């Protein structure tokens, strides 16, 4: 493997890839477990790279030695950015999650356009830029993640710090008629143009971004077609592309064949008396379409009473952003709907809906994926949606059916290979699609799931990192020295 690439990767994201917990009055640090960490850690580890982000609630003095210990074991460095409660309220809950999140998910009526939030966003982006300037060197490649830090490259350049900078947006980018509602629209678009490469989940997002830019920035020129286009602006070339994110396929598929997970999946099926299981797994968020999905389930049992007692819908929701009033209102709405539907249909020994509001360990979640006959992934709008891909990876028996919202980024890739597309707003249509799938021939189900799994296996998280880095500075993952494992080789399949 080539050792020729001298570029060090510096990842910047809102949160560091760790989780902090306090036990008996002392903080402990463990590695984070998300897909982004799994994909980027080997690259960082083998280059001695760096990750910059907010560490969570611990104080500066307590944190430093913990991060040093973690870095020694992980093989890459962590540098914290410190945020206080005011920052979290204004920049994180405020600008990021009460303005950008709803607006970019096409829900402007949920936005709270408070001017103070914008000032806090700029202030925190400045602090991230200062930390990046302090800890990076000119030859580094800075890869900034997500909507919390859209302004960072702009601030860096204003500080006179020259670095190659790439940005990836994990959520959708809205069309001009939505984006133009943002009071700070011109500033955000111009700030994004300070990156050298801007990556989106889908072609649609990239096109929306280009359309907004054309509406707001006079004098730009767009050249090229296909996945990556080039933009000429003020003597600079900016590249803009689509890079659909994915999961560590082998890790999910491997876990699904683990003896404990197989046993647990069987236990779940037995507990639900071997009825067909339809599964929903989401962060508790109004973009995920959970109430609409529950109404589709109610419609299914109303229109097809013969399916009552034959199927159970399991909804697992992980708590999220509970400090924001919209999220606690959503939780109440969902709990009320679950109560109503269960009250309407429950019979001795059968409840139509099993609802869990908690974070599950990865192995337990995988057991549910394995046990489920169908997955209902029906967000109203989603950048990608990793649950859809995780369900396919864990469906090692290749007998499951994936229902996927046409408004999830994942639909762009998965509709062609076997996902059943639904419009989440169409409660009757979704109920009909579920009923049709109940009678889907076993061969068709296996053919669809086989194709879905092939697609996710090929276009996995390592492929995603590789495509972005290749577009960023013509490097493949293979160009990073790799000493321990070849993480792209299937370990067992
Ligand atoms: P999210 O909005 O968080 O991500 P998603 O892509 O579905 O959405 O990822 C959710 C993750 O949470 C999955 O990995 C899933 O396993 C996990 N999860 C869900 N419920 C859980 C539970 N009860 N217990 C434990 N884990 C649970 C944002 C964007 C997406 C984009 C991703 C990645 O909104 O569109 O796909 O980033 O770019």
Region 313-317: what's the mean pLDDT?
A: 97
Cα–Cα distance measured from residue 455 to residue 392, given in angstroms and rounded to the nearest whole number: 10
Same fold, 9-245+461-479 and 249-458: yes
The CA distances from residue 452 to 220, 370, 383, 394, 413, in Å, are: 39, 15, 19, 11, 9
Cβ–ligand 1 distance for 360 under 6 Å, the answer yes
Catalytic residue among 93, 106, 135, 170: 170
pLDDT band at 24 (very low <50, low <70, confident <90, very high): confident
Cα–Cα distance measured from residue 202 to residue 223, given in angstroms and rounded to the nearest whole number: 18
- pLDDT for residue 33 is more than 70: no
For the question of residue 84 being annotated catalytic, the response is no
The pLDDT value recorded for residue 488 is 39
Rg (C-alpha) for the chain, rounded Å, is 23
What residues does each domain of the chain span?
9-245+461-479, 249-458
How does strand 164-168 pair with strand 197-200?
Answer: parallel
Matching residue, tokens 């799931």: 449
Specify the pTM: 0.94
Cα–Cα distance measured from residue 330 to residue 332, given in angstroms and rounded to the nearest whole number: 5
**pLDDT tens profile 113-170:** 999 999 999 999 999 999 999 999 999 999 999 999 999 999 999 999 999 999 999 9
Neighbours of 398 (CB within 10 A): 15
CATH code 3.30.70.20 for 9-245+461-479: no
CA 249 to centroid of ligand 1, rounded, Å: 15
Beta bridge partners of 405: 422
Helices (H), 395-460: 410-414, 427-438, 442-458
Q: Is 74 helix (H, G, I), strand (E, B) or coil?
A: helix
Q: Is 417 helix (H, G, I), strand (E, B) or coil?
A: coil
Instruction: Classify the C-alpha dihedral 267-271-275-280 as positive or negative.
Output: negative
Which positions ≥6 away from 24 have C-beta within 8 Å?
none
Cα–Cα distance measured from residue 459 to residue 448, given in angstroms and rounded to the nearest whole number: 17
CA 317 to centroid of ligand 1, rounded, Å: 10
CATH code 3.90.170.10 for 249-458: no
Residue with the nearest Cα to atom 3 of ligand 1? Answer: 283
CA 387 to centroid of ligand 1, rounded, Å: 6
DSSP 106-162: T-GGG----HHHHHHHHHHHHHHHHHHHHH--TT-EEEEESGGGTTHHHHHHHTT--
For the question of residue 274 being annotated catalytic, the response is no
The pLDDT value recorded for residue 4 is 41
Cβ–ligand 1 distance for 384 under 6 Å, the answer yes
Residue with the nearest Cα to atom 37 of ligand 1? Answer: 170
């Amino acid at each position: 493997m080539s050792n020729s690439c001298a570029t060090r990767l510096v990842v910047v994201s809102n949160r560091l890839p760790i989780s902090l917990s306090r036990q008996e009055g002392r903080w402990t640090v463990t590695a984070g477990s998300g897909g982004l960490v799994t994909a980027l850690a080997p690259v960082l580890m083998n280059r001695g790279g760096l990750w910059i982000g907010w560490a969570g609630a611990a104080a500066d003095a307590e944190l430093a030695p913990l991060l040093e210990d973690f870095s020694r074991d992980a093989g890459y460095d962590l540098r914290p950015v410190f945020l206080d409660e005011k920052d979290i309220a204004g920049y994180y809950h405020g600008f990021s999650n009460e303005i950008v999140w709803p607006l970019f998910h096409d829900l402007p009526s949920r936005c709270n356009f408070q001017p103070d939030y914008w000032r806090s966003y700029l202030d925190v982006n400045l602090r991230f830029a200062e930390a990046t300037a302090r800890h990076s060197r000119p030859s580094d490649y800075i890869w900034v993640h997500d909507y919390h830090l859209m302004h960072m490259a702009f601030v860096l350049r204003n500080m006179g710090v020259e670095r190659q900078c790439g940005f990836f947006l994990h959520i959708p980018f809205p069309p001009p008629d939505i984006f133009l509602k943002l009071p700070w629209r011109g500033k955000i678009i111009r700030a994004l143009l300070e990156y050298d490469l801007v990556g989106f989940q889908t072609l649609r997002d990239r096109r929306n971004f280009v359309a907004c830019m054309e509406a707001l920035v006079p004098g730009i020129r767009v050249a090229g077609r296909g996945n990556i286009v080039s933009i000429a602006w003020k003597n600079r070339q900016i590249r803009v592309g689509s890079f659909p994110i994915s999961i560590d396929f082998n890790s999910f598929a491997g876990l699904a064949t683990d003896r404990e997970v197989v046993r647990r999946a069987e236990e779940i099926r037995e507990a639900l008396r071997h009825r067909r299981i339809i599964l929903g797994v989401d962060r508790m968020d109004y973009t995920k379409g959970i109430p609409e999905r529950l109404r589709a389930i109610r419609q299914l049992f109303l229109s097809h009473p013969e399916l009552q007692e034959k199927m159970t819908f399991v909804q697992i929701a992980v708590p999220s952003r509970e400090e924001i009033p919209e999220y606690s209102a959503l939780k109440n709405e969902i709990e009320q709907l679950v109560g109503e539907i269960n009250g309407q249909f429950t019979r001795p020994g059968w409840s139509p809906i099993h609802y869990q509001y908690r974070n599950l360990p990865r192995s337990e979640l995988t057991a549910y994926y394995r046990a489920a006959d169908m997955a209902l992934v029906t967000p109203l709008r989603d950048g990608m949606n990793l649950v859809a891909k995780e369900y396919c990876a864990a469906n090692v028996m290749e007998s499951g059916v994936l229902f996927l919202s046409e408004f999830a980024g994942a639909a762009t890739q998965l509709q062609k290979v076997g996902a059943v597309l639904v419009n989440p707003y169409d409660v009757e249509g979704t109920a009909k699609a579920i009923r049709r799938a109940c009678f889907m021939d076993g061969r068709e189900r296996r053919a669809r799931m086989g194709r879905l799994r092939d697609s996710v296996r090929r276009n996995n998280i390592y492929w995603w990192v590789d495509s972005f880095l290749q577009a960023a500075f013509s490097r493949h993952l293979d160009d990073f020295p790799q000493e321990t494992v070849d993480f792209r080789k299937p370990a067992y399949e």
